[in-house]
Amino acid sequence: MKILLIGGYGMLGTDLREEFVRRGWDVVAPTLDEVDITDPVQVAACAEMAGDWVVNAAAYTAVDKAESEPDTAMMVNGLSVGYLGQMTAMAGAKFLHVSTDFVFDGSKTEPYTEDDPTNPLGEYGRSKLIGEEQALSHAGIVVRTAWLFGPNGGSFPRTMIRVAREGKPLRVVADQTGCPTYTRDLARVIADLIAKDAYPGVYHAVGPDTMTWHEFAVRTLQAAGIDGNVTPISTADYPTPAKRPAYSVLSTAKIEALGIAPMRPLDEALADFVSRLG
């Protein structure tokens, strides 16, 4: 198996690269300096590096900043995916693209399935939805995930641990609900989809536990062995430029029907995460 991995040095990309190598696959992972995915000419030149699969883990992830930089978010998360899809077709390879729960508006009260209507609330979600459409138009696989954390980049648990160790008060939103997802486990699920040569379409891949950001913070501190109080607050108490979905739990029944094992429970994932922080 030969894979061209775009965004292979980010939080998720690093774990994807390591997971692919563990499986004995040949991985080519150009850096941002080597390939600018917003340049269609540079992307087209990557066709000679593509093998069996092109996996896109690159993204503009500054949710709030996207409200003031919609064109940049759309270029990276939307239009660039189309360039990558075209290049993949040129190379005769298969395409997998990583997306987000922010394509939904959070109005449901039960887990979102892959077939539920999308309705993003902000520029970030809108740009990611265009990216999904671009990937699907090139017979790609779209993997929607949520609330990512991992040892190779900035994340919510890392911030909670740092702030708690500094002795600062923690006030965390308790009226947004989702599924924390460990990047090392997501990398395994994505590799499983590739190994099974999954049919093109949308797949949800998130951690198995449903909770609020407040509970996520509490369990993070417990995993790190830190005594600290986390005060629950409402979304209204912590206004942000971008609106977040109040409920973005994703159903993973579709990938589990393929025989792909669920991710580890959050407490196990957090224990691994904390052990890798150093």
Known catalytic residues?
A: 124
| 49 neighbors 6 (Cβ within 8 angstroms) | no
Q: Which one, of 103, 265, 231, lies nearest residue 160 by Cα?
A: 231
Q: At what angle do helices 123-137 and 80-91 cross, to 10 degrees?
A: 20
CA distances from 154 to 36, 61, 116, 264 (A): 22, 11, 30, 21
| 102 neighbors 148 (Cβ within 8 angstroms) | no
Say how far apart CA 11 and CA 186 lie, in whole Å: 11
Judged by DSSP in three states, 192 sits in helix
123 burial (CB, 10 Å; 0-12 / 13-18 / 19+) is buried
Backbone φ and ψ for 183, nearest 5 degrees, come out as: -65, -35
What DSSP element (H or E) covers 152? none
Judged by DSSP in three states, 232 sits in strand
**Other residues' Cβ atoms within 10 Å of the Cβ of residue 87:** 26
Say how far apart CA 198 and CA 241 lie, in whole Å: 37
141 burial (CB, 10 Å; 0-12 / 13-18 / 19+) is buried
